[in-house]
Amino acid sequence: MGAVHGAIGGSRRGATAAGALLLLAGSAWGQANLPPGPGRDVVAAKCYACHAFEARVGNGYTSEGWDTVLRMMRNQGAPLTADEVAQIRPYLVANFPEKNKVPAVIVPGPLQVNMQSFQVATPGSRPHDPLATRDGAVWYTGQMSNVLGRVDPKSGQVREFALKTPHSGPHGLVEDRAGNIWYTGNTGSLVGRLDPRSGTVTEYPMPEGKTDPHTLAFDRDGILWFTLQNANQVGRLNRTTGELKFVTMPTPGARPYGMAFDPRGMLFVVEFGTNGIALINPATMAVREFKLPDAGARPRRIAITPDNKVWYTDYARGTLGRLDPASGEVKEWLSPSGAGSAPYGISAIGDTLWYSESESSPNTVVHFDPASEKFQSWPIPGGGKIVRNTSVTSEGNLVLANSLADTVTVVTIPR
């Protein structure tokens, strides 16, 4: 998510002439490079308004995946008639098939988990983050349908709450003590609060240039902290006064991403644009950066165990890593499906780690026990389709949002 935010944020706020020219030049280049075939002209006409098409294709999609993408784009506001969808679907399926997935390596072990999945209400929602709340519900951000969804795992009932600013791109979410759900509106450059009792949404827009609000968490004093990936900053919102404060990461382009508080209340942020982990003192906003030993490391999500060890998924190198902030020592383990497995969403449950491999086919749930240094893993029914974040229920079960499968999954762990 780099350029696309700049472009979307820019046009929403009134792009500069130079910015607009750059966009046009970029899309002209891309359109010229589209492979020939029926459907090409429709893609050229319809798929460059918000982002360059080729910047988003990545490793391609299955035919089912392209259906999901087209649903998501229509939810996001792409003006596509049913006729145009029928023209471009076969073109996309033929020219941009799914590639570069690694076969999932499933590691057997002693734990028996049970996985139960729930379909989100609107197809093409791209459920980005899940959140298990204290009342036993599972929430998700419908990034492409501009809703927050609430699943009751007991009844299977799903309820959607519409947000205010159109296409605000709800991304991360967190619960406050009163049961309100706070979220980042990633494309809308805002932080929002939903009161589930009334359905009322309150928005806190970011100041100019503070783009890409991403992941969020409350500190002990009830201050809301959030990363701004593209702006290379971490922000905080005082809910009582509405005051916003920001701090810039020392490394340019560090892309602050996942975040977590340690048991002492210190904030750790993984930097997805570099091999870094930032430690932020919430009282002073002073930042200290730890450099991971491998320059190619790209830590994406983070979890902290009760012993103050900081765990991260290295998306670029396929490893699970552990930083001891006291000594600066780093230790890494190769994920079961290997270097190309793209470990992503991660949670600590007690002393052990649970995460998902997002480029293995199918995606997996992986368990790692630091005491024995042993892995165990399971395929996610339905393929998983990129678990971008995970959450933990009050009973200590894992929750996944399967972004391109339009489902959320509760992984029940025996104990």
Which residues lie near ligand HEC (CB under 6 A)? 1, 4, 8, 46-47, 49-51, 53, 56-57, 69, 73, 76-78, 80, 126, 187, 404
- 148 touches 170 (CB < 8 A): yes
Rounded alpha-carbon distances, angstroms, from residue 193 to 120, 182, 198, 216, 299: 21, 4, 12, 12, 28
Task: Label the pairing between strands 398-402 and 387-392.
Answer: antiparallel
- 262 touches 268 (CB < 8 A): yes
Distance of closest approach, residue 92 Cβ to ligand HEC, in angstroms = 6
Burial group, residue 267, by CB count within 10 angstroms (0-12, 13-18, 19+)? buried
Contacts of 24 (CB under 8 A, 6+ apart): none
Cα of 32 vs its chain's centroid, Å: 31
Nearest C-alpha neighbor of 137 from the set 365, 412, 399: 399
For residue 186, give both structure tokens. Answer: 């990633």
Q: Between 390 and 403, whose beta carbon lies closer to ligand HEC?
A: 403
Distance of closest approach, residue 8 Cβ to ligand HEC, in angstroms = 6
Q: Between 98 and 195, whose beta carbon lies closer to ligand HEC?
A: 98
14 CB neighbour count, 10 Å cutoff: 8
Distance of closest approach, residue 304 Cβ to ligand HEC, in angstroms = 26
Distance of closest approach, residue 297 Cβ to ligand HEC, in angstroms = 22
219 CB neighbour count, 10 Å cutoff: 15
Q: Between 1 and 413, whose beta carbon lies closer to ligand HEC?
A: 1
- 203 touches 192 (CB < 8 A): yes
In 48-134, at which residue ranges do the beta strands (DSSP E only) sit? Answer: 102-103, 114-119, 127-132
Distance of closest approach, residue 78 Cβ to ligand HEC, in angstroms = 3
Q: Between 125 and 133, whose beta carbon lies closer to ligand HEC?
A: 125
What's at 169, amino acid-wise? G
For residue 160, give both structure tokens. Answer: 């959607």
Residue owning tokens 């944020």: 9
Distance of closest approach, residue 372 Cβ to ligand HEC, in angstroms = 36
Distance of closest approach, residue 397 Cβ to ligand HEC, in angstroms = 26
Q: Between 153 and 169, whose beta carbon lies closer to ligand HEC?
A: 169
Q: Between 50 and 401, whose beta carbon lies closer to ligand HEC?
A: 50
Q: Between 259 and 404, whose beta carbon lies closer to ligand HEC?
A: 404
Q: Between 98 and 152, whose beta carbon lies closer to ligand HEC?
A: 98
Distance of closest approach, residue 113 Cβ to ligand HEC, in angstroms = 26
